[in-house]
Amino acid sequence: MAVVVSSNGNGPAFEAKMTVYVFVCVMIAAVGGLIFGYDIGISGGVTAMDDFLKKFFPSVWERKQHAHENNYCKYNNQYLQLFTSSLYLAALVGSFLASAVCSKLGRKPTMQFASVFFLIGVGLAAGAVNIVMLIIGRIMLGLGVGFGNQAVPLFLSEIAPAQLRGGLNIVFQLMVTIGILIANLVNYFTATVHPNGWRMALGGAGIPAVILLFGSLIICETPTSLIERNKNEEGKETLRKIRGVEDINEEYESIVHACEIASQVKDPYRKLLKPASRPPLIIGMLLQFFQQFSGINAIMFYAPVLFQTVGFKSDGALLSAVITGSINVLSTFVGIYLVDRTGRRFLLLQSSVHMLICQLVIGIVLAKDLGTTSTLGKAQAMVVVVFVCLYVMGFAWSWGPLGWLIPSETFPLETRSAGFAVAVSCNMLFTFVIAQAFLSMLCGMRSGIFFFFSAWIIVMGLFAVFFIPETKGVAIDDVRERVWKPHWFWKRYMLAEDDHQDVEKRTE
Ligand code: BGC
């Protein structure tokens, strides 16, 4: 299938085929997203399993036996939270290391490192005989997530024919949601296996990790990464192979040109501190903050716990999580379909209102009907489940995928990898904060936690209205001219840079 590819309409047109080889590479790399999603989804189910609690967190298990004493606090335990959140802290550190490995050694070895970390982590966590082993296992998994989440989206963007880049970027988020769904299913079935169901659940991540390990041996390195590291001939050959056409000279020259400009920037992190980098940097960081403070992972990690809290039995809880997982996957397709049609802003604004209503309804039902010791009536519990599902739907077609897409398309090439690493690590930082604090917040604030998230959703909606410009259809290297310079607020940083350059010229 030959298609003429242009980098978004205004850029140069390069001829390319969507080759089977590219398809295979994309699928293998995206397995990294699958493992990330699996890790997000599995924690909530495992921490609701009695065998697991009895072995590692006996005091939590004790408290759970007297669940009627306090609905909101039965799972509150710092160590239990550390089990979930240690992964994200390690991933935060991991993404900075990974960004260096990515530029020095390439995307492919970074993915190989990720799979090795994943395998060690799975072995330690699934085979854990004490809590230290368990936590070290989680830390290794976290390093895998940091390496994988840095390398995979960059790899996908660089290997894709340009006109498919947006859609392929969201394949990463799609795989994340599939990973979460698989984890929910695994939780559901392993919960009935005693006493080692939790080992099977944690061990399940080993399968995609092995696929990633062997898969990353057969995928190619990206042409950009090869040329960036002065392997121009190899880069050219690879480009010819993945594009499936003979004449790749124009695209090759454009990559060489981009690499030359980028190589003049010795320290991309310093460049990130310059005023002109501020718009994509601030937006990239705040997107992660809002993504997490909208409360998504409170729901993702603890959906099973949450459903038990509102009075479902263990099985019903996991089944409900399977339902939210499927809705998450299906709604991501809506995002893939709409993102280049309605644009980013429409999705962000629509979903802010949508998610706000959901959080408020959940909060109000719980505040009215769930005392600390009673259980919810059937009708009220149904309302909570329905609004949790609607909430996940809104997130999945907007702030979920756009949290990864926007930072990948708003930095210029010279700061793209570093800027993206900052965004990934902010995502991990805020995911960590929510994972670590959620159960204590639930215990302390009770249903008020949903009003807390609601307040942040209002702030995030206003931020989107005033500060997130539309990037739909704008060529990736035209963002400065067409997006930041005309923007009512961000233009001040662009003017500051122009003045600065003028001054530099005058003093030369
Ligand atoms: C977020 C994750 C979240 C997932 C839910 C991702 O975009 O970064 O934190 O759990 O979406 O689908």
Angle, alpha carbons 190-201-398 (nearest 5°): 105
299 CA distance to ligand 1 middle (Å): 10
Phi, psi of 14 (to 5 degrees): -115, 140
407 vs 422: CA distance, rounded Å: 10
Per-residue tokens: 310: 């509102």
For atom 7 of ligand 1, the residue with the nearest CA is 400
Q: Are 473 and 8 in contact (CB under 8 A)?
A: yes
pLDDT digits (tens, 9 = 90+) for 173-198: 999 999 999 998 998 899 889 999 99
Q: Give the mean pLDDT of 421-433.
A: 93
Domains annotated on the chain, with CATH: 20-219+265-507 (1.20.1250.20)
Q: pLDDT at position 498, please?
A: 53
pLDDT digits (tens, 9 = 90+) for 368-383: 877 666 667 778 888 8
Atom of ligand 1 nearest to the CA of 288: 8
Helix 399-410 to helix 165-190 angle, to the nearest 10 degrees? Answer: 140
By C-alpha distance, which of 234, 276, 455 is closest to 352? 455
Peptide bond just before 268 cis, omega within 30 deg: no
Q: Give the mean pLDDT of 271-281.
A: 94
408 vs 127: CA distance, rounded Å: 37
By C-alpha distance, which of 159, 157, 179 is closest to 420? 157
Atom of ligand 1 nearest to the CA of 176: 12
Atom of ligand 1 nearest to the CA of 403: 7
Instruction: Write out residues with Cβ below 6 Å of ligand 1.
Output: 40, 173, 176-177, 180, 291, 296-297, 300, 328, 400, 403, 427, 431
Q: pLDDT at position 508, please?
A: 40
Q: Are 250 and 14 in contact (CB under 8 A)?
A: yes
Task: Place 319 in a pLDDT band, splitting at 50, 70 and 90.
Answer: confident
Residue 487: pLDDT above 90? yes
400 CA distance to ligand 1 middle (Å): 6
Q: Are 401 and 166 in contact (CB under 8 A)?
A: no
174 vs 317: CA distance, rounded Å: 24
Q: Give the mean pLDDT of 244-270.
A: 87
Helix 107-126 to helix 206-218 angle, to the nearest 10 degrees? Answer: 160
478 vs 469: CA distance, rounded Å: 13
Three-state SS for 220? coil
Phi, psi of 4 (to 5 degrees): -90, 125
pLDDT digits (tens, 9 = 90+) for 78-117: 778 888 888 999 999 999 899 889 888 999 999 999 999 9
Pick the more confident residue, 365 or 500.
Answer: 365
Q: pLDDT at position 7, please?
A: 41
Residue 69: pLDDT above 60? no
Q: Are 422 and 281 in contact (CB under 8 A)?
A: yes
Residues in the chain: 508
The contacts of residue 91 (CB under 8 Å, 6+ apart) are 142, 143, 145, 146, 149, 425, 428
State the DSSP code for 71.
T
Q: pLDDT at position 372, please?
A: 62
Q: Are 157 and 177 in contact (CB under 8 A)?
A: no
For atom 4 of ligand 1, the residue with the nearest CA is 400
Burial 282-294 (b: 16+ CB within 10 A, else e): ebbbbbbbbbbbb
Task: Please name the residue that has the structure tokens 């604030």.
Answer: 445
Residue 15, H or E segment: strand 13-17
Residue 210: pLDDT above 50? yes
Residue 39: pLDDT above 50? yes
Phi, psi of 13 (to 5 degrees): -100, 130
Strand partners, 2: 17
